[in-house]
Amino acid sequence: MLIVLRQKNDQPLITHIQNLLKKKYGCESHIIGSNGRVIAVPGDTTMVEIDLIKNIEGVRSVDRVDRPYKLASRERKDRTEIKLSHGVTIGTRGTLVVMAGPCSIESEAQLDETAALAKKHGATVLRGGAFKPRTGPYAFNGLGEDGLKFLKKAGEKYEMPVISEAMNEAQVDLMEKYVDIVQVGARNMQNYDLLRRLGKCRIPVLLKRGLAATLEEFLLAAEYILAGGNPDVMLCERGIRTFEEEVRFTLALGSVPALRELTHLPIIIDPSHAAGKARWIADTSRASVAIGADGLIIEIHPRPEEALSDGPQALDEAHWTECMEGIRAIAGAMGKKLA
Ligand code: PEP
Ligand code: MN
């Protein structure tokens, strides 16, 4: 960390800052350069509260040379590959994984029918929500554990690993019995008790970007899970909240190359919650593949108009077929194969 002061050789200020760094954070520091304005703090400065130092009268700027997340950082390693059942691996260079399924599991029959559709057109991971974070309290909020039982059964029947969302720590206990990947929804990206619990979990986690989270906050949320001892985290960009109202959320496609530089974790895109309309999802999916995502997670439904949640963005078989054709074409052009 480098702390730059406004005045040259302000000894009382230098002493104050050096004492604070030592006493509060255990950090050694020293003046560098000839004009007595730059304090260097070598080593691990992740504990130092940058705004507290910036707030000190006479400090011009504070720069963290190291990133505040260590385990998630690309400096740590090049890529994380996550191995799942049925031979599916996520994050391998040159491969693309497609996860698909209904927003919510509505019945055993609906899930079975949707899983068959997912499989038929090339998805290799089955999604299905059993605990639903709904904006209003009166909306359908999922079948709970029964839904997870149907999901596990469908995953076995169609030979696909399965993913479902947990909203709290108790639900993670259930997830460990039934699913291959736990999803953290956008609204829970900063639910730190949940993230800590997932750190103790032995199954992979798909962490969705919060509606208004910066990439640094996103990576720090991933860091919680990694720091708890679970190395298998993938990041999911699903659109952020902007002033735009025509599309459901603004898909931050540019975050893919940015995240690729910052982290080794696999990057998944959710075009469904971003676009919000079934007819826009094939286009959004192709763009997501072209920009280099490691995978996609897409909502499909045999009869979208009957869906109990997110019907407007669910792909029926015709849209789903078109979407997968586009995904295959762009993946092929990029020399990627479907995982
Ligand atoms: C979902 O995947 O169904 C969901 C609710 O996603 P998000 O948390 O991104 O809104
Ligand atoms: Mn949904």
> What is the 68 CA–ligand 1 centroid distance (Å)?
27
Query: Which of 114, 131, 183, when mutated, tests ligand 1's pocket best, judged by the most ligand atoms within 8 Å of its CB?
Result: 183
Name the β-bridge partners of 250: 240
CA 65/CA 60 separation, integer angstroms = 16
CA distances in angstroms from 54 to 23, 26, 57, listed in the order given: 17, 18, 8
Q: Per residue in 103-119, pLDDT tens? A: 999 999 999 999 999 99
127 in Cβ contact with 119 (< 8 Å): no
> What is the 326 CA–ligand 2 centroid distance (Å)?
22
Query: Which of 106, 165, 218, 309, when mutated, tests ligand 1's pocket best, judged by the most ligand atoms within 8 Å of its CB?
Result: 165
> What is the 320 CA–ligand 2 centroid distance (Å)?
16
CA 110/CA 307 separation, integer angstroms = 9
Q: Which atom of ligand 1 lies at the shortest distance from residue 186's CA?
A: 8
> What is the 104 CA–ligand 2 centroid distance (Å)?
7
Q: Per residue in 158-187, pLDDT tens? A: 999 999 999 999 999 999 999 999 999 999
Q: What is the pLDDT of residue 46?
A: 87
Q: Assign 146 to helix, strand or coil.
A: helix
Task: Take atom 6 of ligand 1 and give the residue whose Cα is closest.
Answer: 185
CA distances in angstroms from 105 to 27, 235, 269, listed in the order given: 52, 23, 21
Indicate the Cα dihedral angle 243, 249, 254, 257, nearest 10°.
Answer: 150
CA 220/CA 64 separation, integer angstroms = 15
Phi, psi for 208 (deg, rounded to 5)? -85, 145
Indicate the Cα dihedral angle 312, 316, 322, 323, nearest 10°.
Answer: 50
Residue 306's nearest CA partner among 46, 117, 110 is 110
Q: Which residues of the chain have pLDDT under 70?
A: none
Task: Take atom 9 of ligand 1 and give the residue whose Cα is closest.
Answer: 186
Task: Take atom 8 of ligand 1 and give the residue whose Cα is closest.
Answer: 185
Question: In 10 A of CB 302, how many CB atoms?
Answer: 18
**DSSP states along 48-98:** S-HHHHHTSTTEEEEE-SS-S-STTBTTT-S---EE-GGG-EES-TTEEEE
Residue 271's nearest CA partner among 302, 243, 237, 241 is 237
Structure letter (DSSP) for residue 240: B
Question: 96-113 burial by CB neighbour count: b if 16+ within 10 A, else e?
Answer: bbbbbbbbbbbebebbbb
CA 84/CA 204 separation, integer angstroms = 8
Structure letter (DSSP) for residue 194: H
pTM for the whole structure: 0.93
Task: Take atom 1 of ligand 1 and give the residue whose Cα is closest.
Answer: 103
Q: Assign 25 to helix, strand or coil.
A: helix
Q: Which atom of ligand 1 lies at the shortest distance from residue 103's CA?
A: 3
Looking at all shown ligands, the one closest to residue 271's CA atom is 1
Q: Which atom of ligand 1 lies at the shortest distance from residue 270's CA?
A: 9
The alpha-carbon radius of gyration of the chain (Å, integer) is: 23
CA 16/CA 20 separation, integer angstroms = 6
CATH numeric code, 2-63:
3.30.70
Residue 198's nearest CA partner among 235, 165, 224 is 224
CA 177/CA 158 separation, integer angstroms = 18
- Which single residue is written with the structure tokens 């940058």? 50
Q: What is the pLDDT of residue 14?
A: 97
- Superfamily grouping for domain 82-338: Aldolase class I (3.20.20.70)
Domain with CATH 3.30.70 in the chain: 2-63
How are beta strands 181-184 and 162-165 bridged, if at all? parallel
Question: In 10 A of CB 159, how many CB atoms?
Answer: 13
> What is the 253 CA–ligand 1 centroid distance (Å)?
17
> What is the 312 CA–ligand 2 centroid distance (Å)?
10
Q: What is the pLDDT of residue 114?
A: 98
Domain with CATH 3.20.20.70 in the chain: 82-338
Q: Assign 105 to helix, strand or coil.
A: coil
Instruction: Enter the tokens of residue 114.
Output: 């949707």
Q: Assign 271 to helix, strand or coil.
A: helix
Looking at all shown ligands, the one closest to residue 313's CA atom is 2
Task: Take atom 10 of ligand 1 and give the residue whose Cα is closest.
Answer: 186
> What is the 196 CA–ligand 1 centroid distance (Å)?
20
Q: What is the pLDDT of residue 64?
A: 87
> What is the 135 CA–ligand 1 centroid distance (Å)?
11
Residue 111's nearest CA partner among 240, 270, 301, 309 is 301
Q: What is the pLDDT of residue 140?
A: 94
Q: Which atom of ligand 1 lies at the shortest distance from residue 183's CA?
A: 2
Q: What is the pLDDT of residue 82?
A: 98
> What is the 67 CA–ligand 1 centroid distance (Å)?
28
Contact residues of ligand 1, CB 6 A cut-off? 103, 129, 133, 185-187, 208, 238, 270, 273
